[in-house]
Chains A and B, each alone.
Chain A
Amino acid sequence: MAYSRIKENTIHGLFFFNGVLVIVVLVGIFVLLITKSMPAFKEISLLHFLFSFKWNPTASFVEPSYGIWSMIVSTFMVSIGALFIALPLGVGTAAYLSDVASYRVREIFKPLVEILAGIPSVVIGFLGIVLVGPVIAKIFRLSNGLNALNGAILLAIMALPTIISLSEEALKGVPKSFEEASLALGATKWQTLTRVKIPAALSGIIAASMLGMGRAIGETMTVLMATGCALAMPKSFLDSVQTMTATIAIELGEVPYDTTHYYALFAIGLVLFIITFVINMISDIILHKYQRVIK
């Protein structure tokens, strides 16, 4: 008796510890980012940091400058671009899987979509260099295809599994009675899908795409390889861009410790953290609202 209770308590404690650990890690990362990035703002004004175009911390012939605005714009261009490509594709696939596909096709398709999520980002980046880039260059008659559009297409591929799985869940979650009522009123299957089921699952789909975008914003290797990494302010999707993640990845490896440059890189990390945090939170709120509506 006593033995089993000890066992019970131990296991209880263990799980509690695990749960707390996650929170400790999260808070730890947040605190680390804040403490490491604060010293940067002794030397750089926050306004200059966020809204100035020029990032050149290793300048030796002019004053170093630490503006990340073009990187913020680049990051959003690439990830929102990815969303525009992935959303119709993803929702289309999800609708097909949940409503049109036969049982057998679905059972083959779904694991395939999951496999897509498992492809390493370096491989996708490589695809961007050797396949997507040259195709873009040919279509738009450019000298090269290393640009924001390339990054957006690749990130769309990476966001697809998330969007497909979650959208499919959302479509499945629409009560059967909605569908039955629609069909009984004489609507075709297509009308039912586009005018009843998708609108009913909309908040779930939005949440799915937000999560997909959250992933796209944080993605590093793919954009590092495929977007050309130029720091100039992009004028269109056909310009080379350098995202915030790429800058951190490139520069953190060799930056001298405890310099303004070092702190500024952590500040970029903090900005990135806040952006993804807000996006995840919004998607979470939408998701909860949606679950309540359906119930």
Chain B
Amino acid sequence: MNRLRKIIVFLLIGLFSAHLCWAKDMIQIKGSDTLINVVQKLAEVYMAKKPGTMIAVTGGGSGTGIAAMINKTCDIANASRDMKASEVEKAMAKGVDPKRVVVAIDGLSIVTNAQNPVKKLTIDQIGKIYRGEITNWADVGGENLPITLYGRQSNSGTYDFMKEVVMKGEYSSALKSMNGNAQIIEAIKQDKSGIGYVGVGYAKDASGITVLDVARNPALGYYSPLNSADVKSGKYPVSRPLNQYINGIPTGVVKDFLEFELSSEGQAIIEKEGFFAIPEEYQRYNDSTLGRSYEVSQPLAGKVRSVQGEYAK
């Protein structure tokens, strides 16, 4: 009797897990730690609207997500940076055709402890601080206090974005690599000498920290990433597109979910989570990726790339 019961339990477990595995409408999303909360939120709302769909959102960093997409172990890769040429090559070699959809805009926020009197920095100063050329707050108008650098681990898209676009050089070896945006916020709250960078969605409602105003050049003025107009107009100098990569033109549930993210409802959720809705150029770029209108193609893609290039300046 007992054995029979055991067998039945095992059979049930087996059936149940088989059901999970074979559920048709299962989407695996993996990657950027910056995007994880907002995509999780989008997925929850979407699943509530479409019962029967399962969306699993996990983190691990942009690099991890892109690698998973290339190895076909996830349907959508969240990435807070663009795919590198080497990654595109690798994808092609494996027969994966990566397509990019821009789902949100992030004003990458530079944060310090609330007790730190420094409230604004220039891009140049931020670069020098992270490259280890400025090591004391006194050099940027603060107290005589050594700067403690907090950053992300090298699998993070934000880590790469900072390095390639903001710092244009290598990180100081004194950088403390933290496991995610939330951990950076937590560390900065406790550390009066700390400086860190996080996606604006993480900085918006956090207490005990200052979100610095940043200037491309002091003459052009300092802007805050918390002001959505300044981020969208590009006055805030370190904004970036948050991407999702898929293999080929999407179909079925994946397409439906992407459409939902880009709909006004989805974009409203993104704004509510602290990130920013995508401007028109990206909307048109996404249209071409999603196969909405094929006539817009190469020239526009070029334009979008130049839009991206602008943040670099």
Contacts and interface: CB of A to CB of B under 8 A. Distances in A.
Contact of A144 (B90, B173, B187): B187
A250 interface: yes
Interface in B153-192: 153-155, 163-164, 168-170, 172-179, 183, 186-187, 190-192
A134 B63 CA distance: 32
A232 interface: yes
Given A143-B192, A144-B148, A144-B190, 5 more contacts: A56-B170, A143-B193, A253-B64, A254-B63, A254-B155
Contact of A242 (B64, B168, B177): B177
Chain A interface helix/strand/loop/mixed: loop
B180 to A, nearest CB: 11
Interface in A214-266: 224-225, 228-233, 240, 242, 250-251, 253-254, 256-257
Contacts of B155: 250-251, 253-254
Nearest to A249: B153
Contacts, number: 78
A230 B174 contact: yes
A254 B64 contact: yes
A229 B178 contact: yes
Main SS of the interface on chain B? mixed
Contacts of B241: none
Greatest chain A CB density within 10 A among B90, B148, B168, B176 is at: B176
Interface residues of B, number: 36
A231 B176 CA distance: 8
A59 B173 CA distance: 12
A144 B191 contact: yes
Given A144-B187, A256-B90, A251 B175 contact: no
Nearest to B62: A254
A251 B154 contact: yes
What are the 6 tightest A-B residue pairs by CB atom distance, in nearest-first order? A254-B63, A232-B173, A143-B193, A254-B155, A229-B177, A144-B191
Nearest to B63: A254
A146 interface: yes
A60 B154 CA distance: 12
Contacts of B178: 229
Nearest to B178: A229
18 contacts: A60-B164, A61-B168, A129-B186, A137-B190, A143-B145, A146-B176, A146-B187, A225-B179, A229-B153, A229-B176, A230-B174, A231-B173, A232-B172, A253-B60, A253-B63, A253-B155, A254-B154, A257-B90
B114 interface: no
Interface residues of A, number: 30
A242 B179 CA distance: 13
Interface in B19-73: 60-61, 63-64, 66-67
Contacts of A54: 173
A115 interface: no
Interface string A162-196: 00000000000000000000000000000000000
A47 interface: no
B194 interface: yes
A143 B173 CA distance: 18
Contacts of A256: 86-87, 90
Nearest to B66: A254
Contacts of B177: 229-230, 242, 250
Contacts of B173: 54, 56, 230-233
B232 to A, nearest CB: 29
A134 B191 CA distance: 9
Nearest to A58: B154
